[in-house]
């Protein structure tokens, strides 16, 4: 896919991986719509010319309306978390928290269901899962279950939507605003989380965004997952 002159709709596009992807798309000459529950908080961070739109991915009617309003487009991305995710041992986990973790999946399902129909025939969909989907560490059962569901969704949908393509990027530990800690506490947290990785540091959102850019542009890839994890799966 040649990017210049294309249009992209990026859910979760005002923070972290989504924001980094918006920046790289805009640099490549793509007209970008950045979607967030509260885009006003990040409008100053968006590249010039990027349109910011408010929408909650768990609101199916709102997602459907937005996709129809912005149609047609060539690139559809969701990096939206959908809400909080439960952490801890499954057998002692609050089940409402576990169920709530799947808001990410429901949000992605809404985006794919209502967004793909407005995608041009050579268009590309990219979702974001997470390394626990295939190598779950203690306390990550909810993360693993949701991420695995996202990857399974993409594989199942890929044959249905061809020639349109759908793929997933699976990031490891990434330094994003989802972690509220600052300074030495933040550095210590990421050092501890990544100490056993082959690449012992947190990744940058831009490093994950470059994988999304690859999947958008490579017309010979669909129904697959690309890992950007610093060696998480091998550590």
Mean pLDDT value of segment 29-36: 97
**Cβ contacts of residue 187 below 8 Å, gap of 6+?**
none
Residue whose pair of structure tokens reads 């959102």 in the numeric block: 205
Q: Answer whether 225's CB lies under 8 Å from 172's CB.
A: no
Residue 72 CB neighbours (<10 A): 12
pLDDT at 190 over 90: no
CA quadruple 160, 163, 164, 167: dihedral sign: positive
Q: Where are the domains of the chain?
A: 7-228
Higher pLDDT, 226 or 182: 226
Predicted confidence at residue 192, as pLDDT, reads 82
Percent of the chain with pLDDT over 70: 100
Predicted confidence at residue 128, as pLDDT, reads 97
pLDDT at 41 over 90: no
Predicted confidence at residue 109, as pLDDT, reads 97
Tell me which of 3.40.50.720, 3.40.190.10, 3.40.50.10490, 3.30.70.890 is the CATH number of domain 7-228: 3.40.50.720
pLDDT at 179 over 80: no
Tokens for 50? 């990027």
Q: Which residues pair with 167 in a beta bridge?
A: 126
DSSP string of the chain?
---TT-EEEEETTTSHHHHHHHHHHHHTT-EEEEEESSGGGTGGGSPTTPEEEE--TT-HHHHHHHHHHH-SEEEEEE----S----S-GGGS-HHHHHHHTHHHHHHHHHHHHHGGGEEEEEEEEEE--GGGTSPPTT-HHHHHHHHHHHHHHHHHHHHHTTSEEEEEEE-SB--TTS---HHHHHHHHHHHHTTSSS-SPBPHHHHHHHHHHHHH-TT--S-EEEESTTGGG-
Residue whose pair of structure tokens reads 């958008």 in the numeric block: 216
Mean pLDDT value of segment 61-83: 95
């Amino acid at each position: 896919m040649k990017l210049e002159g294309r249009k992209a709709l990026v859910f979760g596009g005002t923070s972290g991986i989504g924001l980094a992807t918006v920046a790289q798309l805009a640099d490549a000459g793509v007209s970008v719509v950045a979607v967030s529950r509260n885009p006003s908080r990040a409008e100053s961070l968006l590249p010039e010319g990027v349109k910011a739109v408010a929408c909650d991915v768990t609101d199916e009617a709102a997602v459907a309306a937005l996709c129809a309003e912005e149609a047609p487009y060539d690139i559809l991305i969701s990096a939206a978390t959908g809400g909080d995710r439960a952490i801890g041992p499954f057998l002692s986990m609050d089940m409402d928290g576990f169920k709530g973790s799947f808001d990410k999946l429901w949000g992605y399902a809404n985006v794919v269901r209502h967004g793909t129909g407005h995608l041009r025939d050579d268009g590309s969909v990219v979702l974001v899962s997470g390394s626990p989907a295939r190598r779950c560490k203690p306390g990550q059962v909810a993360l693993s279950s949701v991420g695995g569901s996202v990857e399974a969704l993409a594989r199942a949908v890929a044959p249905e939507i061809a020639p349109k393509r759908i793929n997933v990027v699976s990031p490891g530990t990434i330094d994003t605003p989802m972690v509220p800690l600052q300074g030495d506490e933040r550095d210590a947290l990421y050092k501890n989380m990544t100490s056993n990785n082959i690449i012992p540091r947190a990744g940058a959102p831009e490093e994950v965004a470059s994988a999304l850019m690859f999947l958008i542009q490579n017309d010979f890839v669909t129904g697959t997952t690309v890992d950007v994890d610093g060696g998480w799966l091998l550590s």
